[in-house]
């Protein structure tokens, strides 16, 4: 009996193995068919994987965990390539695993590269330092000064960079970039999150190289005043606008031009946040786009006045070049902050696509922009600015790339009134989609969200882009030639 049972059991095991192998083959075939159908979109997962690797560095607790994930990603990539027998699946797994390893490695390396001494405990001491940046904050009646520490009278190792708030009356003449000052200040280590998941200033300060923050006491001694003309263009332009427009109106106008929000009263800033319009106050893609579009339009109009130039067919190339110069110049003018650089990179990519005759606004462009930012500033993946910007743009482009949506809101032969209704519906649906997409991110970072921002943005964005900013640019141009007047 035993001898007859063994072959039966062996046959059953063999049949089970055959069925399992057949099932795996079917799964592999279905997966390959799916990947083949989506082959043009597979590259979009590379920045996602790089971002996942960068985020893993922040989520995991210690270097042992980082090393474990890094080795696991490299082992997965090696195993995938080792068992590859053709097809896209092993190659995709290997590429994404290497992308995860790249994101984690870049973040780890950047954290080590920017490492600087951090103040261990609160202290009151004398500090001598060279001014890197002096930002007036009229709404709070103070000046925010970033110093490179030259001399330190406190205990322990001195931070290399500190940020100190000075009362406006205590701010001396000659305090500008390049000046050397000496003052007594109460300094504290950068604050950690108040509750789990809240804003982590300590993390932001680490990557900014800030070792302490605090408040300075009068008197502030200017050891070496700033050189004549040391005030940067951004600060000078901000002061000019605030001098022409008093109060929050001047603060909002300055924010639209230079991104400096220091003169906006807190009630007005809170109202903008509650209305979902706070993004208008920070220099972002909207401002870069408006500047580039205005420069390109003016360039085309002016050069088209010459028939000889118009017939060359190169006006779009010249206009795109002028737009690129405007984007880079505006980014430099507003302080070249990471969000502004990100918007500038995206604008340059759009201009390159237009020059090459390619479709400008695609998910591949968004992915390329995200990849550039992650490779240069991998820590931005956990910041609300990066998440909100790319989530909004991705949602808008993916929504309008859908065949049914593009059919609804594309060009139609219809009356002007019906076209306006269609465009308004497109704006409303796009605004609602953006609000729904950004709501989880806003709730996580800011603990508040609202849907009526979609309606507010339908009015505010076109008004700001096509009326307010061109009018402000015209007023500043008139001021520059001496033909302006106070508001």
Query: 301-358: per-residue pLDDT in tens?
Result: 888 887 777 777 778 888 888 888 888 888 887 777 777 777 788 788 888 877 777 7
Query: Given 294, 317, 351, which residue is the final one in a domain?
Result: 351
Q: What pLDDT does 378 receive? A: 92
Enclosing domain of residue 54: 29-114
- Pair 316, 235 in one domain: yes
Q: Are residues 237 and 345 in the same domain?
A: yes
Q: Answer whether residue 161 is part of any domain.
A: yes
At residue 147, the pLDDT reads: 93
Tokens in use for 379? 């820590």
In a domain, residue 460? The reply is no
Query: What's the pLDDT tens digit per position in 20-36?
Result: 666 666 776 777 777 77
Are 225 and 467 contacting, i.e. CB atoms less than 8 angstroms apart?
A: no
- Tell me how crowded residue 348 is: count the other CB atoms within 10 A of its CB: 20
Residue 17 pairs in a beta bridge with none
Among 351, 372, 401, where does a domain finish? 351
Q: Count how many domains the chain has.
A: 3
**Mean pLDDT for all residues in the chain:** 81
Q: Is 58 a domain residue?
A: yes
Q: Does 321 share its domain with 343? A: yes
Q: Are residues 162 and 253 in the same domain?
A: no
Q: 280 and 235, same structural domain?
A: yes
Q: Examine the domain organization and report whether 67 and 94 are in the same domain.
A: yes
DSSP 282: S
d(CA 121, CA 38): 54
Task: Check residue 370 and report its DSSP letter.
Answer: H
Q: Give the pLDDT score at 65.
A: 93
CATH number at residue 148: 2.40.50.120
Question: How far from 296 is each of 41, 285, 304, 320, CA to CA, in Å?
Answer: 31, 16, 12, 6
Decide if 367 is inside a domain. no
Domain boundary at 169, 199, 224, which? 224
CA 348 centroid distance within chain: 15
- Crossing angle of the two packed helices 89-113 and 63-83, in degrees rounded to 10: 160
Pair 76, 172 in one domain: no
- Based on the domain organization, do 103 and 129 belong to the same domain? no
**Low-confidence spans in the chain with pLDDT less than 50:** 1-2
Q: Is 381 contained in some domain?
A: no
**In this predicted model, what pLDDT tens digit does every residue of 362-421 receive, in sequence order?**
888 888 888 988 998 899 898 888 888 888 888 888 888 877 777 777 666 777 777 777
Q: Are 283 and 339 in contact (CB under 8 A)?
A: yes
The answer to whether position 291 is within a domain reads yes
pLDDT value of residue 110 = 94
Q: Which two tokens stand for residue 484?
A: 């302006």
Q: What is the 3-state secondary structure (H, E, C) of 68-110?
A: HHHHHHHHHHHHHHHHCCCCCHHHHHHHHHHHHHHHHHHHHHH
* Same structural domain, 131 and 183: yes
- What pTM did the predictor assign? 0.78
Per-residue pLDDT, 214: 92
Query: What is the rounded distance in angstroms from the CA atom of residue 386 to the CA atom of residue 366?
Result: 12
Q: Assess if residue 319 is contained within a domain.
A: yes
Pair 110, 162 in one domain: no
Nearest CA-CA partner of 103 in 59, 45, 49, 54: 54
DSSP, res 305: T
256 and 337 fall within a common domain = yes
Same domain for 197 and 139: yes
Structure tokens at 438: 């950004």
* Domain assignment present for 295: yes
Q: How far apart are CA 203 and CA 210, in angstroms?
A: 10
Residue 393 pLDDT: 84
Closest alpha carbon to 181 in 141, 225, 137: 225
């Amino acid at each position: 009996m035993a001898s007859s049972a063994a072959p039966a059991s062996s046959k059953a095991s063999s049949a089970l193995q055959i069925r399992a192998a057949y099932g795996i083959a079917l799964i592999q075939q279905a997966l390959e068919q799916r990947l083949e159908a989506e082959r043009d979109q597979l590259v979009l997962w590379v920045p996602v994987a790089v971002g996942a690797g960068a985020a893993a560095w922040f989520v995991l607790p210690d270097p042992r965990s980082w090393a474990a994930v890094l080795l696991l990603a490299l082992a997965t990539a090696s195993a995938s390539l080792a068992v590859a027998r053709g097809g896209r699946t092993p190659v995709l797994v290997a590429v994404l695993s290497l992308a995860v390893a790249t994101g984690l490695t870049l973040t780890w390396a950047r954290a080590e590269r920017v490492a600087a001494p951090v103040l261990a405990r609160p202290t009151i001491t004398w500090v001598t330092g060279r001014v890197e940046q002096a930002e007036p904050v009229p709404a709070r009646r103070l000046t925010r000064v970033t110093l490179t520490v030259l001399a330190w009278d406190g205990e322990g190792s001195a931070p290399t960079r500190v940020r100190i708030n000075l009362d406006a009356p205590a701010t001396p003449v000659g305090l500008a970039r390049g000046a050397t000052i000496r003052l007594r200040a109460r300094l504290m280590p950068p604050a950690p999150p108040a509750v789990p998941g809240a804003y982590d200033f300590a993390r932001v300060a680490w990557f900014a190289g800030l070792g302490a923050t605090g408040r300075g006491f009068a008197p502030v001694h200017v050891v070496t005043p700033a050189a004549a003309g040391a005030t940067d263009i951004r600060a000078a332009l901000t002061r000019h606008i605030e001098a022409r427009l008093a109060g929050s109106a001047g603060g909002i106008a300055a924010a639209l031009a230079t991104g400096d929000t220091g003169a906006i009263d807190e009630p007005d800033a809170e109202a903008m946040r509650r209305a979902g319009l706070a993004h208008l106050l920070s220099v972002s893609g909207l401002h870069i786009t408006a500047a580039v579009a205005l420069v390109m339009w003016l360039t085309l109009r002016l050069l088209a006045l010459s028939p000889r130039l118009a017939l060359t067919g190169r006006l779009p190339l010249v206009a795109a070049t002028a737009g690129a110069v405007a984007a880079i110049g505006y980014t430099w003018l507003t302080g070249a902050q990471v969000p502004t650089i990100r918007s500038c990179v995206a604008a340059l990519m759009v201009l390159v696509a237009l020059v090459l005759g390619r479709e400008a606004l695609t998910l591949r462009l968004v992915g390329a922009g995200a990849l550039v930012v992650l490779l240069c500033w991998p820590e931005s993946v956990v910041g609300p600015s990066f998440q909100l910007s790319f989530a909004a743009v991705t949602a808008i482009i993916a929504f309008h790339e859908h065949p049914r949506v593009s059919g609804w809101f594309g060009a139609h032969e219809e009356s002007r009134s019906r076209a306006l209704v269609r465009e308004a519906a497109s704006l409303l649906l796009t605004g609602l989609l953006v609000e729904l997409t950004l709501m989880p991110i806003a709730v996580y970072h800011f603990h508040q969200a609202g849907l009526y921002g979609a309606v507010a943005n339908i009015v505010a964005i076109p008004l700001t882009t096509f009326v307010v900013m061109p009018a402000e640019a015209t007023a500043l141009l008139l001021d520059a030639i001496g033909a302006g007047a106070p508001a």
